[in-house]
Structure 1
Amino acid sequence: MQPKISIIVPVYMVEQYLEKCIDSILLQTFTDFELILVNDGSPDNCRSICDSYAMKDQRIKVIHKENGGPSSARNAGIEIACGEYIGFVDSDDYIHERMYEILFDIASKNLSDIVVCDYYKVKNSETHEDGLNPGYTETKGFVNYTNLQVLNLLIDSNLGTFIVAWNKLYRSSLFNYLKYIEGRVYEDLFLAHKIIHKCTKITYTPFKLYYYLQREGSIVNSQYTVEKFDKLYAMKDRANFFRNIKEYQLYEEAIRQYTEVFFWNYYKAKQELPHIRDELNLLKKTMDESILLIMKNKLISWKQKIMILLFVINPSLHEFCKKASENN
């Protein structure tokens, strides 16, 4: 029988966190789900942990695959998912026991394409309040949005709540023609706007039902590497998407945000990373190809435009002027 929800958990190098994650899912008050554990070639004890749980609970499916990163693991889970809805949980995180009960209830009553809850940021030894305080009821505790309303929320404040994959319940048909881009970090930033655009209704509940573990070894908290250029590529991709769907106000704001973070990342990499010339040249091309539209953008000041144009013409001269301005 087809389950209502497919819960996909990409697994890699998390043996000390994995059991807590899986237990929090199996203890859900909502029980009509399948749990898909995707062992992404983890070299630690994750494989045996996944297999052991699968032997205990027939709702669990396990995929063992070569390492391909979080996007590859999510896509592998999506390929075999049977549920009417899909949820994602990162394997070092855990969830409130009523999370999927509440998200599915909201989705069913509101005919939502996506339901979004809020989340706690937690540390290993940290305690936290119950995310349902002061209490969930069927008649309050959620807001419905159109796709364009959420895209405006996302671009106005870059709300991580609407960007990350794991605090949501998605109608599974949203993934019929969309997949996570493999080989990239910031994979959620590449896809969030495209999924949201496909929706008719997105419902948000402010209750904190997901516990997002802050740990030093995660990508977000790691040292600066060239892979962090992916954030810029994702932001540029988002801007281009808005232009392609003719949402020009969103495009102008998206490209403004892109230019604001571009130079910090460019000079951070140039200063700290060796043998980076080719990667910097590729990154620069993303600025070069948008220069005419940047010059027309009403949200970017003329002073910023002159500096951006100077960078496109001669990065060394731009760096000289930038340092001179900072020293004055």
Structure 2
Amino acid sequence: MYIEISIIVPIYNLEHLLQKCVDSILTQTFVDFELILVDDGSTDRSGELCDEYANRDNRVKVIHKKNGGVASSRNAGLEIAAGNYIGFVDNDDYINKYMFERLYNKAIVHSSDIVVCDYKNVDETELLDPETINTDYKVQHFNNIEALNYIYINKNKPTFIYPWNKLYKRDLFENIKYEDGNIYDDETVAHKLLYRSDKITYIHIELYYYVKRKGSMVNSPFHIKKFDRIYALKNREVFFREKKEFELQQKALMHYMETFFWYYYLAKSNLDGVDKELKELKCTFDKSLIHLFNHRAIGWKQKVMCALFSVNPSLFEVAKNTVTKEVEK
């Protein structure tokens, strides 16, 4: 059977939100798709609801698997996806009924490898009308390097990082998988997919509704698994270095360093019993030191402080506090 789009939904519990999510997909104006629901070992009725949808609509396929996290669910969906294009939707979110029609049409008209739309943050109790759409919106086109630079222009709104506000050509995922166990799995592959693309189209219209849910990973208190993001950012810096993309490597290294210090001291201040994890995390910094010394945007004082941290984090804190007090005088 010829299928144009495979839409993959990783599912773990949250049965009370699942219907809204799936219904928003099944009522899309674009109909030539398969919907792959990946039940990641749910302990509520989510798995049963998936099977009910499959019995009602022959476009729905269901995978029941042992709990392994969202990355393993995305990978499981990719393994059986038959579409020429891939889309993702998270099971606690929902989408505008025109989303995949607009993304697909832009992909065809512009021969784009990836089409990106904007997203809207909504509260769990907020009710939006997914049937309305603005027809007047800006369209931008990027090559791979321009799109990767856009990541660092808009670090506070990672539109190009998230997996779910996009339509991808299927062959981009050849030999690329989301990193199992990493709760920031999107950070592990976004740069690889963008780098492999010749053309990325960005439509400035909010078609994806991202539900800001209490208890979600993003809204949860700081915990040790959030170190996953630092490891992902470090691997991105190494990726650019290996590809000899010097300008991107410099930006990725700075992003990694800023995030490293932020998370390192968040953990040190707020978590107990994490000395082992902090030591392991510091190893990534120590390996980065030579590249930090060669960074053009980092001043010599910062480089000295980085070297001091690498030798002894406690001395670094003393020096940092001394400098801060001098500045405040």
- The alignment's TM-score, normalised by the length of structure 1, stands at 0.96
Which of 217, 226, 229 aligns to 2:227? It is 229
Q: State yes or no: 1:12 paired with 2:12.
A: yes
Report the 3-state secondary structure (helix = DSSP H, G, I; strand = E; otherwise coil) of the residue aligned with 2:254. helix
Report the 3-state secondary structure (helix = DSSP H, G, I; strand = E; otherwise coil) of the residue aligned with 1:37. strand
Report the 3-state secondary structure (helix = DSSP H, G, I; strand = E; otherwise coil) of the residue aligned with 1:289. helix
Partner of 1:93: 93
Report the 3-state secondary structure (helix = DSSP H, G, I; strand = E; otherwise coil) of the residue aligned with 1:166. coil
Structure 2 CA distance for aligned equivalents of residues 196 and 270 of structure 1 = 34
Report the 3-state secondary structure (helix = DSSP H, G, I; strand = E; otherwise coil) of the residue aligned with 1:242. helix
CA contact (8 A) 1:132 1:209 kept: no
Amino acid at match of 1:114: I
Q: Deviations over 1:275-323 (max 9, x none)?
A: 2111111110111011111111111122211111100011111122223
Q: Deviations over 1:1-32 (max 9, x none)?
A: 12100000000021110000000000001000
Partner of 2:142: 145
Q: State yes or no: 1:155 paired with 2:162.
A: no
Q: State yes or no: 1:2 paired with 2:34.
A: no
Amino acid at match of 1:115: V
Partner of 1:117: 117
Partner of 2:262: 264
CA RMSD of aligned residues (A): 1.5
Structure 2 CA distance for aligned equivalents of residues 222 and 124 of structure 1 = 15
After TM superposition, list the pairs within 5 Å mapping 1:1-328 onto structure 2.
Answer: 1-128=1-128, 133-135=133-135, 141-158=138-155, 159-328=157-326
Q: Deviations over 1:52-103 (max 9, x none)?
A: 1111000000000000000000000000000000000000000000101111
Structure 1 CA distance for aligned equivalents of residues 45 and 110 of structure 2 = 41
Amino acid at match of 1:63: I
Report the 3-state secondary structure (helix = DSSP H, G, I; strand = E; otherwise coil) of the residue aligned with 1:154. helix
CA contact (8 A) 1:132 1:207 kept: no
How far did 1:128 drift?
Answer: 4.4
How far did 1:185 drift?
Answer: 1.1
Structure 2 CA distance for aligned equivalents of residues 256 and 93 of structure 1 = 32
How far did 1:253 drift?
Answer: 1.5
CA contact (8 A) 1:40 1:64 kept: yes
Q: Deviations over 1:91-138 (max 9, x none)?
A: 0000000101111111111111110000100002224477965415xx
Structure 2 CA distance for aligned equivalents of residues 18 and 316 of structure 1 = 48
Amino acid at match of 1:156: I
Report the 3-state secondary structure (helix = DSSP H, G, I; strand = E; otherwise coil) of the residue aligned with 1:163. coil
CA contact (8 A) 2:179 2:185 kept: yes
- The alignment's TM-score, normalised by the length of structure 2, stands at 0.95
CA contact (8 A) 1:131 1:207 kept: no
**5+ residue gaps in structure 2?**
none
Report the 3-state secondary structure (helix = DSSP H, G, I; strand = E; otherwise coil) of the residue aligned with 2:204. strand
Structure 1 pair 122–173 and aligned structure 2 pair: CA distance change class (3 A): same
Structure 2 CA distance for aligned equivalents of residues 67 and 231 of structure 1 = 21
Identity across aligned pairs (percent)?
Answer: 48
